[in-house]
Amino acid sequence: MSGRRGPRLYETIAGVFVVLGLVLAFWLAGLFLVRALPGEPLWIVYLLLFWALLTYLALPRLHQLFTLIYVPDYFIGRTRTGDGLLGDPVNLALEGSEEDIHEAMQAAGWILADEITVRSTWGMIVSALVRRSYPAAPVSNLYLFGRRHAFAYQQEVDGNPSQRHHVRFWRTPDGWRLPGGERVAWLAAGTYDRSVGLSAFTGQVTHKIDADIDVERDYIINTVRYADPKSNVRVISQFSTSYHSRNGGGDEVRTDGDLPVLDVTGAAERFPLDIESDSEAGGRARRLPPVPLLGAGLLTIVSAIVACGDVLHAPDTLTVVRLGVQSLILLMWIMAVRHKRWAWVTYMAIETLAAFGTLSFPDEASSIFQAALAVLVVLAVTANPVRTWVNEGRTDPRVRLSQAE
């Protein structure tokens, strides 16, 4: 237990701000709902804002709070969503290097999924709306060992972006063993997207998966072994209890509990496709700060520019103080991007106080939208991916797991 006090302290502080962010989210949602009554000016706009805030911010934050309390922080054969919900089950293990997996998957006709960026996200939305093919569409982030999947592969079905086979991969930490004592180099979670729908837990638009995940698991193995007969597979029987459960989107999943171990060692020599490895092709993109932290930074930079303009226009004491505060907030954001936890805590504290202050005076439309921006910043900087980012490189054993990459 030595060396855990610091990380425990920061986890406690983070939990407090998660609760405060939850209060702010439902407070703001209530203000939108009051203005969404028929007959009120812009009531349809407020109704849409209420739905968006509830489904994409308030409910996910509620799930984040609950899962911090009751979801075990150790390996149970399930991935986790960014909100902390239990995600897809781990249903495949692999042996071999990262290059071996890339070569084996691509030789079997699988496509490396794009990283989640503004461009790829927009491309995925457009492809879903107009039913345009997007074979390398990004997949949502799932977490194992406290970190996001290293990379993902997929196969689009008949040019339909709503239907696809896909599988995410995680490298196991050095020296780590499966329950029962066996060692494997990689773990994976493969599922089949059958359509696009709404999450049963949050109401967000998401892919709906086929319940029988064992069929997808066997499909992945068969495609690889067909392309590479020298690969082999062994099965860890009854790796987990067979069960009927649900993933983070509320979709039912069924499995027999077996864990096949697919060995593709040497595939890089057998299939010299000359492709870039994940660390070369995708590593740089993943080293960018998480989207919530970047979004919060953008709002902070805009606020600092506005404050600077106010000083130039009317350099009185109030505007100078405001510029000083915005400069301090911007500095804290920069330090948080550099993985400084103390700066992250300071950033959360200042933005939370600002959000409570603006929500206390919501009479005018401009005030409520100003309050909405403040709440968005609080929710962004208290999100799970941001907490994971600022903890990178720390001495907490749960964080050191990610250093195996």
Per-residue pLDDT tens listing for the chain (405 residues)? 233 444 577 778 877 888 888 888 888 888 888 877 777 777 788 788 787 777 777 777 777 777 767 777 778 888 888 777 778 889 999 999 999 999 999 999 999 998 877 677 777 777 767 777 888 888 888 889 888 899 999 998 877 766 789 999 999 999 899 988 889 999 999 998 875 555 555 555 565 677 788 999 999 999 999 999 999 999 998 887 656 566 555 567 788 888 999 999 999 998 876 554 444 444 434 456 777 888 888 888 887 887 788 778 877 887 888 788 888 989 999 999 888 889 999 998 988 888 888 787 765 555 677 777 778 888 888 887 788 788 765 544 333 333 333
Helix (H, G, I), strand (E, B) or coil at 135: coil
Alpha-carbon distances of 271 from 98, 115, 239, 268, 405, rounded to whole Å: 13, 24, 31, 5, 23
29 and 54 in contact (C-beta within 8 Å)? Answer: yes
End-to-end CA separation in angstroms for the chain: 24
What DSSP element (H or E) covers 255? strand 252-255
- Give the separation between CA 36 and CA 29, rounded to whole angstroms: 10
Q: How many CB atoms lie within 10 A of CB 34?
A: 13
Task: Please give the helix or strand (H or E) that residue 153 lies within, else none.
Answer: strand 151-157
Residue 226 contacts by C-beta under 8 Å, 6 or more apart in sequence?
A: 108
CA separation, residue 289 to residues 123, 177, 336, 347, 364 (Å): 21, 30, 10, 16, 35
Q: 207 with 195: CB under 8 angstroms? A: yes
Report the alpha-carbon distance of residue 151 to residue 189 in Å, rounded.
Answer: 11
Q: Are 134 and 156 in contact (CB under 8 A)?
A: yes
- The model carries a pTM of 0.65
Measure the CA–CA gap between 247 and 187, rounded to whole angstroms: 17
Q: Kindly report the number of other CB atoms within 10 A of residue 303's CB atom.
A: 20
Distance CA 330, CA 287 (A): 21
The SS3 of residue 4 is coil
